[in-house]
């Protein structure tokens, strides 16, 4: 069966073995918070760099199930994290929509810019999901090898963030090209968003079916939007994805990451219906506890630069996260992805300190 013909009301198989990570999402705080790191499979690991070199291009790594499963499991073997995240990228959706997507070494992603209404008119409405079959196969392989106590995370980019790369053709400091297009040509921009929404729903359902226990929606660029635009381009499309997934899998667990949403976070949680939110390191603790953690689990929010710095500064930053949030439902994580120059010994220091915590 292709992921497009999903059975109605597919139920997640309930594994008999408890996963601390899923317990937190189900509302049960853990004395030792479960932990993983955004971008935990990546260039700070020598074993990742080795597989990456064998694979050739970055997308060749994403679309080779053997390699993708292997790099997904590498950080689990090293650090015994509570969750594995499938190795892929948010830009596989534009790729499956037929856009040209390339990853230039040291430069990040490059796409053919979709920056006029005329170009948008040519955009496919339906992705070619056969292109994403290797991601589903990698999920099945990881699930088969993963300790049942460890959760497996599937993911996609939020429509706004994916659209920012599709419009500009690359990352930019403040994603001005997509913001301009949304003001000047809202209908054309909405067409891009709609295509991402509809295909992300199918993609996420395919990931659940292939063995993902939980889904994360990455909205890395949410923080560049004014409140009205945030509501229209971040909150509403994310809500449509959450509703679309839950229409088929009512108990699907979903984590949102509207990076930089700040004071708009409670409204995001309320409107989207996510089970948890990832918070960045700038979040204000009392506000998050009272307005966000009182409703859903929070995930975060160590500054990745503290992890590079190490030593006493790292210990202090870890203790702050625990003091701020571990009395409620917390999944310990970074406030954004781990950076390539991070020493492995510092990750070990973090894992030990979090696991030694008894709150
Ligand atoms: O978290 C994981 O370990 C799973 C894998 C994962 C990758 N990208 C692998 C990757 C995940 C969850 C992502 C998400 C992603 N991709 C986001 C949202 C989260 C975030 O970090 O903000 C975004 C914006 C992208 C798009 C993207 N992919 C960019 C901007 C870049 C270049 C920047 C960089 O870090 O190099 C990528 C490439 C990429 N995606 C790499 C990895 C490991 C590095 C490429 C390489 O190994 O050559």
Q: Could you read off the pLDDT of 177-189 as tens digits, one per residue?
A: 999 999 999 999 9
**Banded model confidence at residue 15, pLDDT cuts 50, 70, 90:** low
**Banded model confidence at residue 107, pLDDT cuts 50, 70, 90:** confident
C-beta separation of 282 from 259 below 8 A? no
Dihedral angle computed from the Cα positions of residues 341, 42, 254 and 2, in that order, rounded to the nearest 10 degrees: 160
C-beta separation of 90 from 166 below 8 A? no
C-beta separation of 91 from 108 below 8 A? no
pLDDT at 16: 60
Q: How far is the CA of 358 from the centre of ligand 1 (A)?
A: 33
**Nearest CA owner, ligand 1 atom 9:** 89
Atom of ligand 1 nearest to the CA of 41: 3
Q: How far is the CA of 216 from the centre of ligand 1 (A)?
A: 14
Residue 80 Cα to chain centre, angstroms: 19
pLDDT at 3: 47
Tens digit of each residue's pLDDT (9 = 90 or more) over 236-262: 999 999 999 999 999 999 999 999 999
Q: How far is the CA of 89 from the centre of ligand 1 (A)?
A: 6
**Nearest CA owner, ligand 1 atom 24:** 220
Domain locations along the chain: 3-355
Whole-angstrom Cα Rg for the chain:
19
- Residue 167 CB partners (closer than 8 Å, separation 6+): 113, 114, 115, 177, 178, 181, 189, 192
**Banded model confidence at residue 195, pLDDT cuts 50, 70, 90:** very high
C-beta separation of 272 from 238 below 8 A? yes
C-beta separation of 350 from 333 below 8 A? no
Q: Is 6 left (phi over 0), alpha (psi -120 to 50) or beta?
A: beta
Residue 291: CB atoms within 10 A of its CB come to 16
**Banded model confidence at residue 314, pLDDT cuts 50, 70, 90:** very high
Residue 152 Cα to chain centre, angstroms: 12
- Residue 130 CB partners (closer than 8 Å, separation 6+): 2
pLDDT at 150: 97
Atom of ligand 1 nearest to the CA of 88: 5
Q: Where are the alpha helices (DSSP H) in the chain?
A: 20-25, 46-55, 58-62, 65-79, 92-96, 117-120, 133-145, 159-168, 176-184, 186-209, 227-229, 236-248, 265-272, 285-288, 304-309, 311-325, 344-355
Class assignment of domain 3-355?
alpha beta
Catalytic residue positions? Answer: 39, 43, 52, 89, 165
Q: How far is the CA of 337 from the centre of ligand 1 (A)?
A: 8
Torsional sign, CA 283, 29, 16, 145: positive
CA dist list (Å): 149 to 34, 81, 105, 237: 11, 10, 36, 32
**Nearest CA owner, ligand 1 atom 31:** 108
pLDDT at 104: 80
Atom of ligand 1 nearest to the CA of 75: 3
pLDDT at 8: 47
**Nearest CA owner, ligand 1 atom 36:** 108
**Nearest CA owner, ligand 1 atom 25:** 90
3-state secondary structure of 84: strand
Structure tokens at 49: 């760099």
Task: Compute the distance between CA of residue 136 and CA of residue 132 in angstroms, rounded to an integer.
Answer: 7
Tens digit of each residue's pLDDT (9 = 90 or more) over 19-68: 999 999 999 999 999 999 999 999 999 999 999 999 999 999 999 999 99
The model's pTM is: 0.95
**Nearest CA owner, ligand 1 atom 38:** 108
Tens digit of each residue's pLDDT (9 = 90 or more) over 340-358: 999 999 999 999 999 999 8
pLDDT at 217: 98
Please, what's the b/e burial string for 124-146 (b: 16 or more CB within 10 A of its CB; e: otherwise)? eeebebeebbbbbbbbebbbeeb
The crossing angle, in degrees rounded to 10, of helices 176-184 and 186-209 is 120
Task: Compute the distance between CA of residue 205 and CA of residue 215 in angstroms, rounded to an integer.
Answer: 10
3-state secondary structure of 167: helix
Atom of ligand 1 nearest to the CA of 108: 32
pLDDT at 1: 39
Q: Where are the alpha helices (DSSP H) in 210-235?
A: 227-229
Q: Phi/psi at 92 (nearest 5 deg)?
A: -70, -20
Mean pLDDT within 149-158: 98
Which of 37, 42, 339 maximizes ligand 1 atoms within 8 Å of its Cβ, making it the mutation to test the pocket?
42
Q: How far is the CA of 181 from the centre of ligand 1 (A)?
A: 24
pLDDT at 5: 46
Mean pLDDT within 195-200: 98
Tens digit of each residue's pLDDT (9 = 90 or more) over 267-289: 999 999 999 999 999 999 999 99
Q: How far is the CA of 174 from the centre of ligand 1 (A)?
A: 18
Please provide the average confidence, as pLDDT, over all residues in the chain: 95
Q: Which of 262-265's residues contact partners 24+ apart within 8 Å by CB, and which partners?
A: 262/223, 263/287, 264/227, 264/230, 265/291, 265/292
Task: Compute the distance between CA of residue 134 and CA of residue 307 in angstroms, rounded to an integer.
Answer: 33
Ligand 1 first shell, C-beta below 6 A: 38-43, 52, 58, 85, 87, 89-91, 103, 108-109, 155, 157, 161, 171, 218, 220, 337
């Amino acid at each position: 069966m292709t992921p497009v013909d999903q059975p109605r009301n597919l139920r997640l198989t309930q594994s008999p073995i408890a996963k601390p990570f899923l317990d937190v999402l189900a509302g049960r705080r853990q004395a030792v918070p479960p932990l993983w790191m955004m971008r935990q499979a990546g260039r700070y690991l020598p074993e990742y760099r080795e597989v990456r070199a064998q694979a050739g291009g970055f997308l060749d790594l994403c679309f080779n199930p053997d390699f993708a499963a292997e790099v997904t499991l590498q950080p689990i073997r090293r650090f015994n994290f509570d969750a594995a995240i499938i190795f892929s990228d948010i830009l596989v959706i534009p790729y499956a929509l037929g856009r040209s997507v390339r990853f230039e070494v040291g430069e990040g992603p490059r796409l053919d810019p979709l920056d006029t209404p005329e170009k948008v008119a040519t955009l496919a409405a339906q992705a070619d999901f056969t292109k994403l079959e290797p991601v589903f196969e990698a999920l099945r392989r990881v699930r088969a090898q993963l300790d049942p106590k460890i959760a497996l995370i599937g993911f996609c980019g939020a429509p706004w963030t994916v659209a920012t790369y599709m419009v500009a053709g690359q990352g930019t400091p403040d994603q001005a090209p997509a913001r301009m297009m949304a003001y000047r040509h809202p209908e054309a921009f909405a067409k891009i968003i709609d295509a991402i929404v509809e295909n992300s729903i199918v993609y996420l359902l395919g990931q659940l079916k292939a063995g993902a226990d939980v889904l994360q929606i990455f909205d890395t660029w949410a923080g560049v939007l004014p409140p009205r635009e945030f509501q229209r381009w971040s909150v509403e499309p994310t809500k449509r994805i959450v509703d679309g997934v839950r229409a088929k899998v009512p108990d699907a667990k979903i984590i949102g990451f509207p990076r930089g949403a700040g004071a708009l976070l409670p409204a995001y949680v309320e409107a989207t219906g996510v089970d948890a939110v990832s918070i960045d390191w700038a979040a204000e603790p009392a506000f998050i506890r009272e307005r966000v953690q009182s409703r859903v689990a929070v995930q975060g929010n160590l500054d990745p630069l503290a992890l590079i710095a190490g030593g006493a500064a790292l210990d202090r930053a870890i203790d702050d996260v625990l003091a701020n949030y571990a009395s409620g439902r917390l999944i310990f994580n970074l406030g954004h992805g781990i950076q390539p120059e991070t020493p492995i010994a510092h990750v070990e220091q973090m894992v030990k300190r979090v696991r030694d915590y008894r709150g």
